[in-house]
């Protein structure tokens, strides 16, 4: 059985359709479909349930996914086994959106200079979803907001930096931050997200019961709404905020509400030197 066919199957399941998987793999949709058909003939049962343009795994397929992921992962490690430096092979990294446009690109450039044998793939997502992907073995590391709980000992957590909570508003807070928030529609950084917990705690600590106009787990979208004069918000001061804040003001709200950005990875891994190189590249930014 060709491991590349298993890789295509996993791509279809992750992307949700054969067409999207084909684009992700740089293949034609016909080639991906053919690979799935070969697997189905070899295994003797259907792997995908097709509805319109989407494709979902059958129950039998779901049962074999853990082993399929393990096989693909092991094959990807073969090249690294021949490199005694441990700096050759694939590295799957998850990152929240503000890191994709902030810290990560320059860190990846530095990593490619240090270790050109490392092939990185990037998965975007929320902190919660990326943490789950790391738990499920779908990632080697994730750059996320620090979890609001103590991660189990299976994980290693490295603090990258802290981001202060700020008021983003067209209005200057001459009469106080609370007055600005109460006088303008409140654009809420989703309180159920790990990053949004800090803004929610600030409101609670200051006795502010605001009814959100919108509640979003997308900081770039929040910044654009503030710039358009839709309302005011409490957001962390991430690296890209200054570029978006040409048309509004940024005011720190005080100490104790920082959002911590961490690199989280497995404490025991078959890619220790690659992950250490990634951490060093991120720490230099």
43 in helix, strand or coil? helix
State how far the Cα of 264 lies from the Cα of 130, in Å rounded to an integer.
10
Average pLDDT, integer, range 40-44: 91
**What is residue 86's predicted lDDT score, i.e. its pLDDT?**
59
What would the mean pLDDT of 5-20 be, rounded to a whole number? 90
pLDDT one-digit tens code per residue, 102-112: 889 999 999 99
Quick: pLDDT tens for 250-262. 999 999 999 999 9
Q: What does the pLDDT look like over 96-155, one tens digit per residue?
A: 999 998 889 999 999 999 889 888 989 999 999 999 999 988 899 999 999 999 999 999
pLDDT tens column, 46-79? 999 888 778 889 999 999 888 888 888 777 666 5
Q: Which residue has the higher pLDDT, 86 or 192?
A: 192
Q: How far is CA 202 from CA 177, 206, 256, in A?
A: 11, 6, 9
- Give 146-182 as a DSSP string: PPSS---TTEEEEEEEEE-EEEEESS--TT-HHHHHH
DSSP percent split of the chain into helix, strand, coil, nearest 5:
45, 25, 30
DSSP structure string for 237-283 = --TTHHHHGGGSEEEE--SS-PEEEEEEEESS-S-HHHHHHHHHHHH
3-state secondary structure of 11: helix
Per-residue pLDDT, averaged over 186-206, amounts to 95
Euclidean distance between CA atoms 188 and 71, whole angstroms: 43
- Strand, coil or helix: 3: helix
pLDDT of residue 3: 82
Residue identified by tokens 């066919």 is: 5
Mean pLDDT calculated for residue range 29-36 = 90
Do residues 179 and 173 touch, judged by C-beta distance below 8 A?
yes
Q: Which residues pair with 122 in a beta bridge?
A: 93
Hey, what are 174's tokens? 């001459």
């Amino acid at each position: 059985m060709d491991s590349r066919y298993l890789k295509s199957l996993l791509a279809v399941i992750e992307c949700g359709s054969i067409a999207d998987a084909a684009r992700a793999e740089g293949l034609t949709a016909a080639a991906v479909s053919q690979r799935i058909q070969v697997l189905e003939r070899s295994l003797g049962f259907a792997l995908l349930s097709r509805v319109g343009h989407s494709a979902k795994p059958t129950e039998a397929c779901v049962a074999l996914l853990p082993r399929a992921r393990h096989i693909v992962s092991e094959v990807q490690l073969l090249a690294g086994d021949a490199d005694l430096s441990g700096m050759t092979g694939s590295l799957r990294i998850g990152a929240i959106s503000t890191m994709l446009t902030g810290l990560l690109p320059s860190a990846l450039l530095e990593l490619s200079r240090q270790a050109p044998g490392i092939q990185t793939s990037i998965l975007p997502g929320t902190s919660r979803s990326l943490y789950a992907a790391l738990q499920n073995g779908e990632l080697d590391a994730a750059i996320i907001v620090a979890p609001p709980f103590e991660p189990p000992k299976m994980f290693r957590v490295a603090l990258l930096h802290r981001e202060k909570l700020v008021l983003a508003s067209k209005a200057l807070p001459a009469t106080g931050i609370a007055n600005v928030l109460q006088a303008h529609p409140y654009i809420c950084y989703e309180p159920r997200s790990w990053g949004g917990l800090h803004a929610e705690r600030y409101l609670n600590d200051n006795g502010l019961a605001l009814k959100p106009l919108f509640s979003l787990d997308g900081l770039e979208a929040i910044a654009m709404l503030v710039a358009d004069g839709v309302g005011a918000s409490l957001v962390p001061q991430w690296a890209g905020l200054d570029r978006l804040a040409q048309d509004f003001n940024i005011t720190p709200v005080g100490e104790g509400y920082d959002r911590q950005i961490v690199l989280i990875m497995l404490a025991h891994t078959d890619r220790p030197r690659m992950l250490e190189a990634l951490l060093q590249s991120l720490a230099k930014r």
